[in-house]
Amino acid sequence: TAPSIRLSPATRSLFDEPLAIAVQGLGPRQQVTLRASLQDETGELFQACARYQARDDGELDLARCPALPGGSFSGLEPMGLLWALQPQKPLWYMVKRDVQSPFVLQLEVFEGHGEPPGRLLAQAQHERVFLRDGMRRVPVREGRIRATLFLPPGEGPFPGIIDIHGLGGGLLEHRASLLANHGFATLALAYYQYEDLPQEPTELHLEYFEEAVNYMVQHSQVKGPGVGLLGYSKGADLSLTMAAFLKNITAVASLNGPVANTIIPLCYKDKTIPPLPYDEEKVKVIDSNILDSSEASINPFQAPGNQSLIPLEKAEAQLLFIVGQDDHVMKSEYYATEVCKLLQAQGKENFQILSYPGTGHCIDPPFFPLYSIGKHPVLHKRAVLGGELRAYSKAQVHAWPQIQAFFNKYL
**What residues are annotated to the active site?**
233, 327, 361
**Among 267, 274, 255, which Cα is nearest to 329's?**
255
Could you give the CA distance from residue 107 to residue 45 in angstroms, rounded to a whole number?
13
Tell which residue, 169, 172, 208, has the closest CA to residue 188: 172
Would you tell me the crossing angle of helices 234-245 and 206-218 to the nearest 10 degrees?
70
How many other β-carbons are positioned within 10 Å of the β-carbon of residue 271?
A: 10
Residue 159 CA to residue 186 CA, distance in Å, equals 8
Taken in order 141, 142, 148, 152, the sign of the CA dihedral is negative
Neighbouring residues of 192: CB distance < 8 A, sequence distance ≥ 6 = 169, 198, 199, 200, 201, 204
- CB burial of 298-318 (b: ≥16 within 10 Å; e: otherwise) equals eebbeeeeeebbbebeebebb
Q: Is the peptide bond before 9 cis (omega within 30 degrees of 0)?
A: yes
